[in-house]
């Protein structure tokens, strides 16, 4: 049973990027919703270039995307949970994730953020996280993985 101050979610969207932090956010979502039986939806977006039609057959990228979803489903099965996996093709990852959360009336959107630095050493946050923080109609949690030894 969640404690009195713990938020209770009916539906959470988990944004999978194929990065090392995906496994952690899937585990976190499962633990968070274990007692409430909230609906979990894992979304992976294949970003298409503007030169490609949205219904383009991107088999090579879809195979990689399927591996991302399969890895998440493996974690869910090992933890005896339930989750729907969704593959989306879109022009912009952040907009697609926010649209999915909005259309499913999610209470929570969880995004993972790998610890990466750009050339020159600046921390890189990307475009999807700021877009979600600004535009998502629900609560947004960003989970940043710990710094690697080389970053300290």
| pLDDT band, very low/low/confident/very high, at 26 (cuts 50, 70, 90) | very high
> What tokens were used for 42?
């894992």
The structural domains of the chain, ordered by start, are 11-151 (3.40.50.620)
How far is Cα 143 from Cα 112, in angstroms, rounded to an integer?
Answer: 5
How far is Cα 66 from Cα 21, in angstroms, rounded to an integer?
Answer: 17
| pLDDT band, very low/low/confident/very high, at 131 (cuts 50, 70, 90) | very high
> What tokens were used for 131?
């877009």
Q: What is the pTM of this model?
A: 0.86
| Side-chain half-sphere exposure of 147, counting CA atoms within 13 A | 9
pLDDT tens track for 73-119: 999 999 999 999 999 888 899 999 999 999 999 999 999 998 877 66
Query: Which residues pair with residue 140 across a beta bridge?
Result: 109
């Amino acid at each position: 049973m969640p404690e009195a101050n713990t938020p209770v979610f009916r539906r959470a969207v988990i944004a999978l990027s194929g990065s090392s932090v995906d496994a952690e956010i899937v585990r976190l979502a499962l633990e968070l919703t274990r007692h409430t039986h909230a609906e979990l939806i894992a979304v992976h977006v294949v970003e298409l270039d503007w030169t490609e039609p949205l219904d383009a057959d991107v088999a090579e990228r879809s195979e990689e995307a399927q591996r991302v979803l399969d890895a998440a489903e493996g974690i869910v099965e090992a933890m005896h949970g339930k989750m729907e996996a969704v593959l989306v093709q879109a022009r912009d990852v952040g907009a697609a994730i926010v649209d999915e959360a909005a259309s499913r009336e999610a209470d929570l959107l969880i995004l993972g953020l790998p610890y990466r630095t750009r050339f020159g050493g600046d921390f890189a946050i990307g475009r999807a996280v700021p877009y979600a923080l600004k535009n998502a109609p629900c609560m947004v949690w960003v989970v940043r993985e710990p710094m690697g030894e080389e970053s300290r």
